[in-house]
Amino acid sequence: MNPSRAHETLFHVFGYTGFRGPQEAIVEHVAAGGDALVLMPTGGGKSLCYQIPALLRPGVAIVVSPLIALMQDQVSALKEVGVAADFLNSTLSFDRAMEIERAMLAGALDLLYVAPERLVTPRFLDLLDHLNEAGQLALFAIDEAHCVSQWGHDFRPEYLQLSILQERYPQIPRIALTATADAQTRHEIAERLRLQDAREFVSSFDRPNIRYTIVPKDNPRAQLLAFIRDGHLGEAGIVYCSSRKKVDETAAWLIEKGIAALPYHAGMNTEERAANQDRFLREDGIVMVATVAFGMGIDKPDVRFVAHLDLPRSIEGYYQETGRAGRDGLPAEAWMAYSVADLVQQRRFIDQGEAGAEVKRVATAKLDALLGLCETTGCRRQRLLGYFDEAAEPCGNCDTCLHPPQVRDATESARKALSCVFRTGSRFGAGHIVDVLTGKATDKVKEWQHDQVSTFGIGTELDDKGWRTLIRQLVAHGALAVDHERYGALTLTESARPLLRGEAAFTMRLDVVAPKKGRNVGSA
């Protein structure tokens, strides 16, 4: 095909003078009939990658989209620039849906957005058959393709049925698009949507304007408030919490402290949720306190910070959620407070879930990778991008680059901690182990006669907090495991062996509170 037609469409229809990044290559590939798997960060410009081929190829392009709001936004934007686009979803009356179907069959539509559950109905497939026979199917675009992944929290079972497109219409080009790009998800998309032979287009996932900071949880609310007051007062932000209760409590508390906060979670009724979302989008400086139910399809360019009071489930989750900050390209911050208690809770969710052993194994591995990001002494961005197989230099715009963490050799201390866990029978949590190491003869210590074990009181080199930090890092390192079936009891793993035998060294990262940015943050 003639590439200048793509440029012409880009300019005359959308008013843009040039393609961004890989857009042009994608457009040409799909317009020429090729299949594509597009991995591009949020805000990267995925829509044009199928909208322009839709206009260049004869017939109608079918766009599968998981969210009604997303469809409506896209369609009205397209209509505004004069493109014949429409959508079919459950919000339409029967008559209106009929009308759209007729328009599509008559060749009057360039793009039709449709929900996945609708697409796979016999009725809709029948329509597609007609179009196909008439040579009037331009392409299939599958937006938010990571919804096919069972590991992610956006999983939509109906997406699994989309493989039918390849079986039924093998000649029609398909393009799947997502902003989630770890190897596992990529592989799943390719396999489940039968896109193994599709060309992959992977953009850089770096969001250079986002500054990453991850702090150990101490007094999380006060830490959050200090973070907001330190440069984000009056700015729009999102605070993610893991439970509805915590969302409500945190929002109420922030309001009490004078922050314009609103709650959002799936337990609220639809009107309340819609009203809060609306205020967040329209008013300035609202802080949305939310569960992960909030976010997908929210296109607010000036979100200045995303804070996590609880660990997400994976690096992809973290990346997607933090990616909602700074879509306008201006400086933004991603801030997270985390603790081993979070980790224990997440592992409990995984282990107690209904999923099979393999699913649990993958979920645990994803959580471990996230923990690695939290505990790294190197550049956070490098680690984050490395997870998506993207190489990067230390960024100079994350907490570890800006305030390199102090590290110390803690091999000896690590051995003490590990052997203390062992000597006390691998059945106690961190608090008790620290008491034994630091020689505190608490009732529990006496009851178990742990003041008699050889590791009692040998940990003079660190204080309580230091030992807790070390234990947390041993968990992150994998030398200690947390057994939540037994109330967070610490147990040794295989990786503890080389440490105990003196065959491996252990470097500990000291917890330091990052210096303030020069403003008095006031009291919490």
Positions in the binding site for ligand ADP (CB under 6 A) = 16, 19-20, 23, 40, 42-48
What gap in Å lies between CA 8 and CA 58, rounded to an integer?
17
Nearest distance, CB of residue 73 and ligand ADP, angstroms: 9
State how far Cα 391 lies from the chain centre. 19
Tell me if 470 sits within 8 A of 460, measured CB to CB. Answer: no
Residue 401 sits in the site that holds Zn ion (CB under 5 A): yes
Nearer to Zn ion, 29 or 381 (CB): 381
- 398 interacts with Zn ion by CB under 5 A: yes
Q: Which of 388, 340, 380, 326 is nearest to 214 (CA)?
A: 380
* Cβ distance to ligand ADP smaller for residue 48 or 437: 48
Name the packing angle between helices 464-477 and 430-437 (round to 10°).
130
* Least distance (Å) between residue 395 CB and Zn ion: 4
CB atoms under 10 Å from CB of 197, counted, come to 10
The nearer residue to ligand ADP, 81 or 266, going by C-beta atoms, is 81
Binding partner at 23 among ligand ADP, Zn ion, none, C-beta below 5 to 8 Å by kind? ligand ADP
Name the residue nearer to ligand ADP (CB basis): 111 or 470: 111
For Zn ion, give the closer residue by CB, 182 or 399.
399
Q: What angle do CA 402, 311, 250 make, to 5 degrees?
A: 95
Nearer to ligand ADP, 47 or 150 (CB): 47
Which residues, in sequence order, are CB contacts of 79 under 8 Å at separation 6+? 85
Q: Smallest distance, Å, CB 297 to ligand ADP?
A: 10
d(CA 70, CA 421): 52
User: From the list Zn ion, ligand ADP, none, which binds 89 (C-beta under 5 to 8 Å, kind-based)?
Assistant: none
Select from Zn ion, ligand ADP, none the partner in contact with residue 79, using the beta carbon and a kind-dependent cut-off of 5 to 8 Å. none
Pick between residue 157 and residue 301 the one whose CB is nearest to ligand ADP.
301
Distance (Å, whole) CA 183 – CA 388: 7
Residue 327 burial class via C-beta count within 10 angstroms: exposed 0-12, middle 13-18, buried 19 and up: buried
Report the DSSP beta bridge partners of residue 483. 489
Q: How far apart are CA 145 and CA 178, in angstroms?
A: 5
416 binding partner (options Zn ion, ligand ADP, none; Cβ < 5 to 8 Å by kind): none
Q: 63 is written with which tokens? A: 């766009």
Please name the residue that has the structure tokens 């095909």.
Answer: 1
Pick from ligand ADP, Zn ion, none: which does 251 bind, CB < 5 to 8 A by kind?
A: none
44 binds, among ligand ADP, Zn ion, none (CB under 5 to 8 A by kind): ligand ADP
Q: How many residues does the chain have?
A: 524
Side chain identity at residue 428, one-letter code: F
Query: 378 Cβ partners below 8 Å, 6+ apart?
Result: 394, 400
User: Can you tell me which of 174, 381, 484, 509 binds Zn ion, judged by CB under 5 A?
Assistant: 381
Which of Zn ion, ligand ADP, none binds 398 (CB below 5-8 Å, type-dependent)? Zn ion
Residue closer to Zn ion, measured from CB, 286 or 379: 379
Partner in contact with 46, chosen from ligand ADP, Zn ion, none, beta carbon below 5 to 8 Å by kind: ligand ADP
Instruction: Choose the stretch contacting Zn ion; rule: CB under 5 A; options: 35-43, 394-402, 448-456, 467-475.
Output: 394-402
State in angstroms the smallest separation of the CB of 46 from ligand ADP: 3
The distance of closest approach from Cβ of residue 43 to ligand ADP in the complex, given in angstroms and rounded to an integer, is: 5
CB of 326 vs ligand ADP, minimal distance in Å? 13
Minimal distance, residue 229 CB to ligand ADP, in Å: 31
**C-alpha span between 138 and 31 (Å, rounded):** 9
What is the residue-wise DSSP string for 203-240? -----TTEEEEEEE-SSHHHHHHHHHHTT-TT--EEEE
Nearer to ligand ADP, 301 or 502 (CB): 301
Q: Rule CB under 5 A: is residue 373 a binding residue for Zn ion? A: no
Nearer CB in complex with ligand ADP: 296/481 = 296
381 binds, among ligand ADP, Zn ion, none (CB under 5 to 8 A by kind): Zn ion
> In angstroms, rounded to a whole number, what is the distance separating the alpha carbons of residues 192 and 152?
14
Least CB distance to ligand ADP at residue 238 (A) = 16
Angle at which helix 411-423 crosses helix 464-477, to 10 degrees, equals 90
- Tell me the window of 241-249, 288-296, 303-311, 395-403 that interacts with Zn ion (CB under 5 A): 395-403
The DSSP-derived string for 304-342 is -EEEESS--SSHHHHHHHHTTS-TTSS-EEEEEEE-HHH
Two structure tokens written together for 119 = 């697409």
- Is residue 395 involved in binding Zn ion (CB under 5 A)? yes
Beta bridge partners of 336: 214, 308
Q: In 3D, which of 350, 270, 363 has the Cα closest to residue 316?
A: 363
Question: DSSP secondary structure string, 232-251?
Answer: -TT--EEEE-SSHHHHHHHH
Chain Cα centroid distance, residue 405 = 25
Which residue, judged by CB position, is nearest to ligand ADP in the bound state? 45
Question: Smallest distance, Å, CB 383 to Zn ion?
Answer: 9
Interface with Zn ion (CB under 5 A), residue from 71, 172, 337, 379:
379
Nearer to ligand ADP, 68 or 355 (CB): 68
Is the CB of 47 or the CB of 161 nearer to ligand ADP? 47
Which partner from the list Zn ion, ligand ADP, none does 401 bind, CB cut-off 5 to 8 Å by kind?
Zn ion
Distance CA 164, CA 192 (A): 10
CB of 137 to Zn ion, least distance (A): 46
**Nearest distance, CB of residue 415 and Zn ion, angstroms:** 31
The binding site for Zn ion (CB under 5 A) comprises 379, 381, 395, 398, 401
